[in-house]
Amino acid sequence: MKFLNKNTLLILILALAAVLRFYKLDTYPALNADEAAISYNVYSLIQTGQDEHGNPWPIHFQSFNDYKPGGYFYIVLPFVWAFGLNEWSVRLPGAIFGVLTVLFVYLLVKELQKWQQFKILNYKFEIIASFLLAISPWHIHFSRGGWEVNAATFFIVVGVYFFLRAIRNNKYFALSAIFFVLSLYTYHAARIVTPLLGVVLLIIYRKDLFSSANRKLFLGSVILGAVLLVPLLTSFVGEASARASGVSIFSDRGYIDRIEEKRARHEDPFSVLNRILYNKPKELAIEFSKNYFEHFKGEFLFISGDDIERNKVPELGQLYLWQFPILIIALYAISKKSKGWGLVLAWLVISPIPAALTFQSPHALRAQSMIIPLTILSAYGLTVILKFLNENIRKRGILTTCYILLTTVLGWSFAHYLHQYYVHMAKTYPYSSQYGVKELVEYMNENVNNTEPIVVTTRYDQPYILFLFYTKFDPKQFQGHHILTARDKYGFSTVPAFNNYIFKSINYKDEDRDKFPGAILVGTDEEIPDAANVIKNIYGSNNYLYFQVVAN
């Protein structure tokens, strides 16, 4: 290692991070509906100054009535402006943020060591941390695509980094405030993580912040942040906050039924003891704790990952399995000498809170910022092991064997991950992203005369937005010419028709064959009977059959 100076190593790591994040970025995995929504709304803004539904320059985008935070949209905007409406332009910013997060974790860990004196001499803790983030399945997954959360995590890391720098050089306070605010504009979960992290920073560095040298600039930055937040607050009132609270544990009625059921099993359901044992605050506290601990469950972190297929790679946890012993070692070492670890540990404790407040737990997406403290801790565990090996094993042969073993385990896990990601993910979870739609629209563009009605199945998520995206449909013709349905039970709306496109579930035999004479029907394999006049089978990039095109 000595023959390479540390910057060369860092550059190599960044290059590795970039390869892992940019390779086949436009095609794998297929674009999903949320990414298409981001792109098309931005496209619409550029063309008309309004989003797809005609709202001018929104802070929260109405989209599927889920009111997406707008930060990432505006980051994508120059990319769409420069490169046009395509997969690259919506995904590039995410991937770039991914690589930059690796860089800033390096800088952050280095900065932490300056302040906290837990530097372990000569072991390049920060290099290991950035390397582990570069190859982290959890981080790579959400860097490859237009995931708002990945941008928010980046902003939080940069915000913390500039905060630490600001303590010695107080002109950075303003930058820190700006990045923290950016994270709030970008992702719902950050609206809980960032303020809590701010409180932790305030407590840990209270003496430095209120020293006579820093006081003015610090408070000035706080005010700057507050002012920058005003537009967000005004936008958050109303629909956007309704959506946020719609997914929270408070809106789920299950716990109230549970209280009633348990109380009813006593002779007097309203006795004092009954009220003390079973009541709303207690049930909610238990529900929250249960969700919270789900994020530290081995099954989630190391074995199978998230429950949602879109958020995971088959047969892999959010972290590598070898990170379990390494994390235990890190915690063990920290228990021995805990000075300086407050921030990282608090970060880990805070990160799952927003996800635990929603009823879908564990949630790899909402709790993604966990990856930063987990990576730093893993790096520390690995550093402790390396230090231990170097200091305690005198025989060169044994030491080399240990290194070879470590490298083999890490190398194999990494190869296994890549194999599962590139070979199996799209095939094991064929519905995790909108495979096949691009191929479908390409075929239609070439072969189908635009004036016939085209009826497309709604079997897969939000087809309208993908059709808008792939046909680059003129936003002016869309705004005001479509209706948005009422919210379904999950809180989402959709557009059932635009131009000559109709989106509905296909019932070929009993309904659609006679209802749409001369139309083009596009259904799934199950929806289209063999007897129909199938003119084309559409396969996704994973070679699975997604659509059958029928000339009626």
What minimum distance in Å lies between the beta carbon of 156 and other proteins?
25
- Which residue, 46 or 331, has its beta carbon nearer to other proteins? 331
Tell me whether residue 321 or residue 484 sits nearer to other proteins (CB atom): 321
What is the residue-wise DSSP string for 279-326? -HHHHHHHHHHHHHHHTT-HIIIIIS--SSGGG--TT--SS-TTHHHH
Shortest distance in whole angstroms from residue 298 CB to other proteins = 2
When the beta carbons of 267 and 510 are compared against other proteins, the nearer one is 267
> In terms of DSSP bridges, do strands 497-498 and 520-523 run parallel, antiparallel, or are they unpaired?
unpaired
Alpha carbon distance 529, 509 (integer Å): 8
Taking the least distance from each CB to other proteins, the nearer of 7 and 335 is 335
Q: CB of residue 162 vs other proteins: minimum separation in angstroms?
A: 32
DSSP state at residue 510: I
Residue type, 152: A
Considering beta carbons, is residue 19 or 277 the nearer one to other proteins? 277
d(CA 366, CA 187): 9
Are 144 and 387 spatial neighbours (Cβ–Cβ below 8 Å)? no
Task: State the residue for tokens 């100076």.
Answer: 5
From the CB of 332, what's the least distance to other proteins, in Å?
5
- How are beta strands 520-523 and 534-539 bridged, if at all? unpaired
Q: Which residues pair with 493 in a beta bridge?
A: none
User: Interface with other proteins by CB under 8 A: which residues?
Assistant: 258, 262, 265-266, 273, 276-277, 286, 289-290, 292-294, 296-299, 302-304, 315, 321, 324, 331-332, 335-336, 412, 415-416, 419-420, 423-424, 427-428
480: left (phi over 0), alpha (psi -120 to 50) or beta: left
Q: Give the shortest CB-385-to-other proteins separation in angstroms.
A: 16
Structure tokens that stand for 78 in this block: 């120059």
User: CB-wise, 119 or 416, nearer to other proteins?
Assistant: 416
Q: How far is CA 261 from CA 146, 274, 275, 288, in A?
A: 44, 11, 13, 20
CB of 189 to other proteins, least distance (A): 20
Task: Tell whether the torsion through CA atoms of 40, 483, 57 and 221 is positive or negative.
Answer: negative
Q: How far is the CB of 102 from other proteins (least distance, A)?
A: 26
What is the phi-psi region of residue 446: left when phi exceeds 0, alpha when psi lies from -120 to 50, beta otherwise? alpha
